[in-house]
Amino acid sequence: MSACHQIDDIVKMKRNKMKKIVALVAVLFSVVVPVQSQASTVERIVIIDDYFNRSLISGSVEFVCVASDRCVNNAATSHGTQMALVARQQNPNATLVLVQAAAVSKTGSIGSVNLNNLVDSLRWASANNSNVSAVSFSRFMNHSSKVCMPPASAPFTPETGYAAVNSQVVDLKSKGIPVLAASGNHNNRIDFPACIPDVISVGAIGMGLGNGFHGDSSPFPADTVVSSQTVRNSTSSATVIIAARLKTLNITTSKVVSIP
């Protein structure tokens, strides 16, 4: 065999190997890419509350803590745990992003959610917003005499605290992420931060509530109201119900949302 023929054979072998490599890469990408794409579209619902007992909450869950170094997991249950359980019941498939915004002592005592931790929680949600459909806050903090203002909490005054929360709410809204908050279990005002114009305030009527809280007949009606005769329906649980089902609801055309 001549040298020229040997060179031709070598070139052909290299070309065949390259074709096989290209074909293999194409097959790999055809399998892997769709799987990654599907995983990246899982809905995430952010719930900001005091504390979440990890052992009681099933399904896809992310746990986040903004309460400094006091993020121990040794409390039995809490308001936040109950809200997470309601959200999971309403949306079994979503990833619940549970943001602990209160400190827990070594003995299991749960602290309160303060203004600093609320601002930090909202800021975290904005910075980690991939596939987040809603942010839910089923708590309130009211100034003793100033309407729609939080109490002072260093370094914030009521005015700067309002501005800080409002700024984060506006930022999230600009990214297409609504913030929902409980209007409060009374009818003489809408609690902070639900009273902020860009927050969706949530009321409740139904089981065990008499005329309910912040329905159409209230002097301070909420932006949207959950009606249910089977779910224990405080404005706290109503808020996570709306957040968990927001993708399937049209709260812009139907103010009262009936839940079986």
Sheet arrangement for strand 95-100: 61-65, 95-100, 44-49, 132-137, 179-182, 200-206, 224-228, 256-258
Rounded Cα gap, residues 155 and 176, in angstroms:
29
pTM over the 0.85 mark: no
What is the Rg, in whole angstroms, of the alpha carbon atoms belonging to the chain? 25
In angstroms, the CA 118 to CA 180 distance is 13
Q: Which residue has the tokens 């005499």?
A: 145
Question: Tens-digit pLDDT profile for the chain (260 aa)?
Answer: 554 444 455 445 545 544 444 343 333 333 333 333 344 578 999 999 999 988 899 999 999 998 765 677 666 778 999 999 999 999 999 999 999 998 887 777 888 899 999 999 999 999 999 999 999 999 999 998 999 999 999 899 999 999 999 999 999 999 999 999 999 887 888 999 999 999 999 998 876 665 678 887 788 889 988 887 777 668 999 999 999 999 888 776 567 888 87
3-state secondary structure of 195: coil
Whether 206 and 241 have beta carbons less than 8 Å apart is answered as no
Listed in order, strand segments (DSSP E) in 170-218 are: 179-182, 200-206
